A = this chain, B = another copy of it.
Amino acid sequence: MLWSGWGDPARATALPDPVAALLRELLGVRPAAVPTVALQDVEVPDSRLAPDDLAALAADVGAAHVRTGAEARIRHTRGRSTSDLLRIRAGEVSDAPDAVVLPASHDEVLAVLRTCTARRIAVVPYGGGTSVVGALTPPRASLPGGRTGGFAALDLRRMDALVTLDETSRTAVLEPGLRGPAAEALLGARGYTLGHFPQSFAWASVGGFAAARSSGQASAGYGRFDDMVVALTAATPEGTLELGRAPKSAAGPDLRQLVLGSEGAFGVITSVTVRVHPVPETRAYEGWRFASFEQGTAALRGLAQDGPLPAVLRLSDEAETMAGLADPAAIGSSRDAGCLAVLGFEGTRAAVAGRRARAAEALAAAGGEPLGAGPGDRWEHGRFDAPYLRDALLDAGAFVETLETAAFWSGVPRLYEAVRCALTGALSGAGTPPLVMCHISHVYPSGASLYFTVVCAQGTDPVAHWAAAKRAACDAIAEAGGTISHHHGVGTDHRDWYAREIGPLGGAVLRAVKDRLDPAGILSPGVLVPGE
């Protein structure tokens, strides 16, 4: 992973000239004043861990797996939100972990948690490092010992096995450090797939998918990651949780759902048992055009409620369709009117043909115009490329960021308008009027997600400007009745709005669970749980 941006540095691309020109004319984007510093010039603060702390950790996982070098610490600094990138590109790594610890097993994780509890060292579980909500950055004031406390990034990359595959139950036991492509390769060799393809797929990890309730681009067909998990094991400072003896149970509250989404604040997920599927015989993507976002939304709702449901189902609003974001390779060159929907079908040839035909009938009846395979294939081709595009935009002096929410269908129009208005108002007020685009990419019978992309000029202080705009958007989400995150999580960035969402008593319940599992408060302090 590029330390100061996204993905494989060899795949970085510059912004096409026409796009740069468009950004200049439309949004007043000017080349960034400050170039990215070089890795070797970044100054890391001194580690706050004492030699005997490091020796104790080395006793738990082996000395080779406790790293305190500058590069390891820089590479584990924060996540991949745009603000994270702007800060690290400027060489600002004040939030760097004091050490990187790499356990190889559940028992080693338990040992590290015991050591860190005894020594009041904070621990932040680290999978792919792709958080965009500040989940990897414990606020200094939240650290045990306050501003003087240190923290270790618990990098789970060595726990990367496909432990077992149960072909009868169609489940697999996966370790948390497996990244998307490795998990798919191991399962694919046996003829199976998870069907989980979030935009962060290439880098994000199985443990992170579970801990942050990730949702992939084929969620309509395969479900969200939290739907896929039927059992899990977690290591906590107080011991081990092993949960899930059946797909569903009436034996009390579903404690799996308390660990899923806990973002490292309750424990470290050390294995998940997930549903797997035979690799589909065929996949087919296609595009549809709707006259308006409202018309397209109604059509998607029809498929979500009455079927047939494709594996992939997404709808760009007018602005995103116009910008051509559904096809990053062609961004800026699209002149499409209306709203583009992309459908992807997976399964046997016969099943795909049947579902496509029935979906086509339903979409045509809802006012859709079929565009054939072209737009679908282009979306599929570029589906993981947007984060690379962000690096190019940042290089060109543009600011680009995303945020997302979800609501019940009847609340979607109000939520859509509220968030657009808040973002446009806040950024225009800061002198950087934005282009605000949106798509629906996850649908349910009772509601849907809204995913916003914002582009504007960086202006004088993009981190501060965005923080203000994000606050306005989060307030708008809370007031319009949406959830503060559909699939990015809470982290530190969303914690205040999450507290509003679950109310003081909901927050108190989380605090009680946290205090029981992590009485010293070492796990991801300041992340998720309100009122720390």
A245 touching B410, Cβ below 8 Å: no
Decide yes or no whether A485 CB sits under 8 A from chain B: yes
Q: If the complex has contacts A255-B509, A445-B170, A483-B245, are A250 and B488 also in contact, measured as CB distance less than 8 A?
A: yes
- Answer whether residue A166 sits at the interface, using C-beta atoms and an 8 A cutoff: yes
Distance, CA A381 to CA B87, complexed state (A): 68
Contacts A275-B446, A515-B512: A253 and B260 contacting too (C-beta < 8 A)? yes
Partner of A503, one of B224, B241, B262, B503: B241
The A240-270 residues at the B interface (CB cut-off 8 A) are 240-243, 245-255, 257-263, 266
Indicate whether A169 reaches chain B with its CB closer than 8 angstroms: yes
Q: How close is A486's CB to chain B, nearest CB, in angstroms?
A: 6
Quick one: which of B166, B248, B408 contacts A410, CB cutoff 8 A? B166
Residue of A171, A505, A508 contacting most chain B CB atoms (<10 Å): A505
Chain B residue nearest in CB terms to A246: B406
Query: Which stretch in A65-73, A210-218, A317-325, A338-346 binds the other chain?
Result: A210-218
Query: Which of A49-57, A121-129, A494-502 is the contact stretch?
Result: A494-502
- Give residues 396-439 of A contacting B (CB, 8 Å): 405-411
Residue of B nearest to A350 (CB): B358
Within 8 Å of chain B (Cβ to Cβ): is A230? yes
- Bound-state Cα–Cα, A76 to B248, Å: 30
Residue from B266, B449, B482, B516 within 8 A of A508 (CB atoms): B516
A83: CB under 8 A from chain B? no
A510 partner, pick from B252, B259, B494, beta carbons under 8 A: B252
Asked whether, in the complex, the Cβ of B248 is within 8 Å of the Cβ of A406, the reply is yes
A-to-B contact residues, CB < 8 Å? 166, 168-171, 212-215, 224, 226, 230, 236, 238-243, 245-255, 257-263, 266, 275, 301, 305, 307, 351, 354, 405-411, 442, 444-447, 449, 481-490, 494, 498, 501-506, 508-513, 515-517, 528
Q: A170-B446, A171-B446, A253-B262 are in contact. List 19 more A-B contacts (CB 8 A).
A: A169-B408, A169-B409, A169-B410, A215-B250, A238-B505, A238-B508, A245-B481, A247-B406, A248-B406, A248-B442, A250-B486, A251-B261, A251-B483, A251-B498, A251-B501, A253-B257, A254-B257, A254-B261, A512-B513
